[in-house]
Amino acid sequence: MTKGNDFMQHQTRRDFLGDSAKVCGAVSLGALTERGTAQAVPPAMSICRWGGVAEGADAVKTIATRLTEEAVKAVGGMASYVRQGDVVWIKPNIGWNRTPEQAANTNPDVVATLVRLCLEAGAKQVKVGDRPCHPADEAYKNSGIEAAARAAGAEVVLVDENRFRDTALGGERLKNWLLYPEIFESDVIIDVPIVKHHSLATATMCMKNLMGVAGGNRGQLHQDLPNCLADLTMFLKPKLCVLDAVRVMTAHGPVGGSLDDVKQLNVIAAGRDIVALDAFGAALLGHDPTQIETVKRGHERGLGEIDYKKIVPNEMSVT
């Protein structure tokens, strides 16, 4: 319930200070970091590249699992984010009725590894769920996430259209929107997107992935995607983001379908700085992050650092 309390504080401060975006951003950034810093501050971001050899049918699984483990370890380990008895909501991209090879959804082994790490860190309950664009049954099943997460010990939750609640976000653009209470009432939200091409945002990553928490006619949000995503991020405050770039979709996103548009990069980045992670993801797809509106606005709204190199990510090669 701490999240709800923080939100209330955020509201009152915000009302008090007025509508200044900068001040608001600073405050929320404070709220973002104040709880993750128990002891020495761990690195805000890690980038893990696969440097080993993996062969056979399970090659991708091995790569995804190892990279996830190391990326989380490199930002202080899961215990820095998940406390004993926490309820964790892992929010992958399960938007589409597509197979893992088509790289439209988050890699199931990344999700499964995160579930395991959370449970090892003492989480009371780990829930996994997303509001898909395609029929939920099909997307959950064919993405491989339902089976993998369940096997790892998570509760796979169907995001029910009837359980969204009109929620005051108090954002710059989004004052109210239908959000899923079970997600934002969790103690910890872990945002686990896959790096993909997107025709409007150019690239879709951590901030865009939070759209899955929103209900209703969310197509509307595309009319001002940068501000809407910043508002959502400010409200939801994911404690940890894990960027899956084991496979990336380079064109015809976010649905894709053709294996010609999929590239296997074998990279996973993790951290607390959602903007830096998105900037890094955009760079992976060959874009200049400063040219991407959503990342730029995230930086301007004080959600993180667009020049991810400036925060000195913990980079490493994993075998």
The site for other proteins (CB under 8 A) is made up of 97-98, 133-138, 141-142, 158, 160-163, 198-200, 217, 219-220, 222-223, 225, 252, 254-258, 260-261
Q: Which long-range contacts (CB under 8 A, 24 or more apart) does 216-220 make?
A: 216/164, 216/177, 216/178
- Residue listed under structure tokens 């006619």: 217
What is the smallest separation between the CB atom of 245 and other proteins, expressed in angstroms? 20
- Residue listed under structure tokens 């096997």: 151
The β-bridge partners of 49 are 267, 317
Strands (E), 52-120: 87-92
What is the smallest separation between the CB atom of 233 and other proteins, expressed in angstroms? 20
Contact by Cβ (8 Å): 248, 194: yes
Q: What is the Cα–Cα distance from 182 to 98, expressed in whole angstroms? A: 26
How many angstroms separate the first and last alpha carbons of the chain? 39
Query: With respect to other proteins, which residue has the nearer C-beta, 1 or 40?
Result: 1
What is the smallest separation between the CB atom of 134 and other proteins, expressed in angstroms? 6
What is the smallest separation between the CB atom of 260 and other proteins, expressed in angstroms? 8
Cα dihedral across residues 144, 222, 274, 213: positive or negative:
negative
What is the smallest separation between the CB atom of 111 and other proteins, expressed in angstroms? 20
Query: With respect to other proteins, which residue has the nearer C-beta, 120 or 160?
Result: 160
Query: With respect to other proteins, which residue has the nearer C-beta, 242 or 262?
Result: 262
For 100, phi then psi, to 5°, come to: -55, -35
Query: With respect to other proteins, which residue has the nearer C-beta, 7 or 50?
Result: 7
Query: With respect to other proteins, which residue has the nearer C-beta, 20 or 223?
Result: 223
Query: With respect to other proteins, which residue has the nearer C-beta, 24 or 133?
Result: 133
Q: In one letter, which amino acid is 127?
A: K
What is the smallest separation between the CB atom of 282 and other proteins, expressed in angstroms? 17
Query: With respect to other proteins, which residue has the nearer C-beta, 65 or 294?
Result: 294
Contact by Cβ (8 Å): 197, 171: no
What is the smallest separation between the CB atom of 138 and other proteins, expressed in angstroms? 6
Query: With respect to other proteins, which residue has the nearer C-beta, 58 or 137?
Result: 137
Burial, 312: exposed, middle or buried (Cβ in 10 Å; 0-12, 13-18, 19+)? exposed
Measured in residues, the chain has a length of 319
What is the smallest separation between the CB atom of 162 and other proteins, expressed in angstroms? 5
Q: What is the Cα–Cα distance from 68 to 258, expressed in whole angstroms? A: 26
Most distant CA atoms of the chain, gap in Å: 59
